[in-house]
Amino acid sequence: MKILFKILPVLFLILSCGSSSSANKETESDFVIAFGSCNREDESQLLWKPILKNHPDVFLWGGDNIYSDTDNAEIMKAAYQKQKNNRNYQKLLNQVPVLGIWDDHDYGLNDGGEEWHFKNRSQQLFLDFMEVSEESPRRSREGIYHSEIFKTEKGNVKVILLDTRYFRDELIKSEDPNKRYEPSTGTVLGEEQWSWLEAELGNSEVDFNVILSSIQILSAEHGFETWGNFPMEVEKLKDLIVASKVKNVILLSGDRHISEFSATEVSGLNYPLIDFTSSGLTHTYEEFSGEPNQYRVGEVVKNKSFGMLRFNFDKNEVRLEMRGLNNKLQQDYLLEFQ
């Protein structure tokens, strides 16, 4: 498995970068997830049509679904409504189930965490946007974390959506001019959400488990927001995945305005733990010229991008794809489980 981990991603970069065809891979898929992040409601949204061309079974918002850094409920509500009124997003809503999490700009505070005074109100506005019933227990619970199981004829996929804002300790600003933040011993998820996640993984009997975080989990050297600012939380997540003996875990993330694959070997897992970052849907870090990431596999994509996961239950594998304008395949990675 280690040989596959190190060689296959490079091979697929050579074979498939730049391809615009997806038909041959769609026929191999038993279940398809599309996801994306960093979406300005007032900018051109050119990726909804190509997303639908891939016939996803579900779309996942990865955070920064709108840009509304405010504690004014009417302003935030109007931003959500503008997004919902987008004609092509409406087409997605009418054809595909949509789930999601928030990041800082739809939470209401740039790089914000548990200290944000508006978080209770912004939670309700987020749940309104996601069309969560007024009777749902999610309306009275702190935080927006949630999970769903998708059942197919061949197997099941569990999507676990994490809240990296509501309970997260404040960040420590760095004195290094090349970094925004320094590592600390704080928490990302908070005690209550950690207990919930432990139960979600502990009782999971599905074939694949997808964990969505708004911020990157593995990449930690760039000095911006990342789970790496709370290294003990990263190790806690790895330990929990191993201890739960849950099958086939894949990590997803957004936030960075670039897309990349990060991978690491974890003792106790017989497959590489992948963090698939997809960002952004309407705008990206076009001036990106490089940054360290010891876990990076392949290249950084700095163009507009959305992520695809194509599950094959018979082969016990998932093809991870970055796609962009005109459904162009930017980069992919075949994740094979034993």
Domain hosting residue 141, numbered range? 31-336
d(CA 277, CA 259): 5
Cis peptide before 290 (omega within 30 of 0): no
- Give the residue from 141, 62, 154 showing the smallest Cα distance to 105: 62
* Domain harbouring 269, CATH code: 3.60.21.70
pTM of the predicted structure, to 2 decimals: 0.93
3-state secondary structure of 2: helix
**DSSP single-letter state for residue 312:** E
Domain count, the chain: 1
Compute how many other C-beta atoms are within 10 angstroms of the C-beta atom of residue 127.
Answer: 17
| Residue 26 covered by a domain | no
Q: Give φ, ψ of 280 to 5 degrees.
A: -130, 170
| Residue 25 covered by a domain | no
| Residue 14 covered by a domain | no
Per-residue pLDDT of the chain (338 residues; tens, 9 = 90+): 332 333 343 333 333 443 344 433 445 799 999 999 999 999 999 999 999 999 999 999 999 999 999 999 999 999 999 999 999 999 999 999 999 999 999 999 999 999 999 999 999 999 999 999 999 999 999 999 999 999 999 999 999 999 999 999 999 999 999 899 999 999 999 999 999 999 999 999 999 999 999 999 999 999 999 999 999 999 999 999 999 999 999 999 999 999 999 999 999 999 999 999 999 999 999 999 999 999 999 999 999 999 999 999 999 999 999 999 999 999 999 999 98
| Residue 232 covered by a domain | yes
| Residue 153 covered by a domain | yes
- Give the residue from 230, 232, 144 showing the smallest Cα distance to 192: 144
DSSP string computed for 226-272: SGGGSHHHHHHHHHHHHHHT-S-EEEEE--SSSEEEEEE--TT-SS-
* Contact (CB, 8 A) for 41 and 67: yes
3-state class percentages of the chain: helix first, strand second, coil last, to nearest 5: 30, 25, 50
| Residue 23 covered by a domain | no
| Residue 179 covered by a domain | yes
* Contact (CB, 8 A) for 71 and 119: no
d(CA 58, CA 55): 9
